[in-house]
């Protein structure tokens, strides 16, 4: 319950603040309208923006319909009263808690009402005295009221406040349920579960059929690609074998040609060596003969 008390204190402070802002806005509207009526719609005879009884809250006087300050005042007041009920241990329905049924429609309607008032009020000015400040004030009245309603209902009320307060109500055990509504809800839940189960089985069957079809297509494609790869491999292997045989035949022919050239070369070289050896022997014999003649001449 500590969380509830802290939240209650925060909501009380927010309610007091926005209530003061709303009251100041109403007083500012009253002052402005009194000046407007007294001047007969002549905007040059009174200020375009009026002040309330709390000057430090005049920044919140953004429109002359008071919708902008009334919507959060009403919202925080409902939250404060609902938290008081929780503190006192009173049970509550979780549907619209902490607000009342139709509160969101009321806020939107108030926003549209402020928009219409901002558009209508400009028609009561004397047109020859209308200034840009008057037009902007009427435009603020038309737009800020709708903006406050939209922000409160669709950005604060529905997505944040109601889910949080519903969980808080369930945590404290104060959520109220109606047996008839609960039985109907259970019946609807059973029907929806049955429909969801049928839809799931149907989708599962469709998925299995699609999976089998894709698996067969993939197997056929894989078989086709394997056959194509095998054929390409055999083709490449035949080309490589033929190329290798051709290169080997060319190499053998080149080797035989080179072998013949080497045989002829070595044969010529051997013949030349034999001729040189024979010439050397003849020169040696002739030299020995000369030496013998010289030796004989010397002895004689």
Neighbours of 152 (CB within 10 A): 23
Strand partners, 93: 176
Q: What is the DSSP string of 90-103?
A: --EETTTTTS-TTH
Per-domain boundaries in the chain: 2-176
Per-residue pLDDT tens listing for the chain (300 residues): 788 889 999 999 999 999 999 999 999 989 888 887 787 766 666 666 778 888 898 888 888 889 999 999 999 999 999 999 888 888 877 777 888 888 889 999 999 998 898 888 777 777 766 677 777 878 878 888 999 999 999 999 988 898 888 888 888 877 775 544 555 456 557 667 877 888 888 898 998 999 899 989 999 999 899 999 989 999 998 888 888 888 888 888 888 888 888 888 888 888 888 888 898 888 888 898 888 888 888 886
pTM exceeding the 0.75 threshold for the entire prediction: no
47: which DSSP letter? -
* Burial class, 36, CB count within 10 angstroms (exposed 0-12 / middle 13-18 / buried 19+): buried
């Amino acid at each position: 319950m500590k969380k509830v008390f802290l939240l209650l204190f925060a909501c009380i402070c927010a309610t007091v603040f926005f209530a003061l802002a709303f009251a100041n806005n109403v007083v500012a509207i009253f002052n402005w309208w009194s000046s407007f009526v007294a001047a007969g719609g002549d905007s040059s005879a009174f200020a375009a923006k009026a002040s309330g009884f709390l000057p430090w809250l005049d920044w919140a006087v953004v429109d002359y319909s008071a919708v902008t300050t009334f919507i959060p005042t009403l919202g925080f007041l409902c939250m404060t009263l609902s938290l008081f009920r929780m503190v006192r241990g009173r049970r509550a329905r979780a549907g619209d808690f902490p607000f009342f049924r139709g509160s969101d429609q009321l806020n939107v309607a108030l926003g549209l009402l402020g928009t219409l008032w901002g558009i209508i009020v400009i028609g009561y000015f004397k047109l020859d005295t209308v200034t840009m400040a008057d037009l902007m004030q009427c435009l603020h009245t038309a737009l800020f009221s709708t903006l406050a309603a939209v922000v409160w209902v669709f950005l604060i009320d529905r997505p944040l406040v109601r889910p949080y307060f519903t969980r808080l109500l369930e945590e404290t055990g104060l959520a109220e349920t109606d047996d008839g509504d609960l039985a109907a809800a259970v019946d609807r839940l059973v029907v929806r579960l049955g429909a969801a189960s049928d839809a799931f089985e149907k989708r599962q069957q469709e998925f299995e059929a699609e999976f089998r079809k894709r698996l067969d297509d993939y197997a056929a494609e894989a078989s086709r690609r394997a056959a194509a790869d095998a054929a390409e491999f055999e083709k490449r292997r035949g080309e490589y074998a033929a190329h290798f045989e051709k290169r080997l035949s060319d190499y053998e022919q080149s080797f035989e040609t080179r072998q013949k050239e080497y045989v002829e070369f070595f044969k010529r070289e051997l013949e030349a060596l034999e001729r040189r050896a024979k010439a050397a022997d003849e020169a040696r014999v002739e030299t020995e003969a000369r030496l013998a003649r010289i030796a004989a001449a010397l002895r004689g």
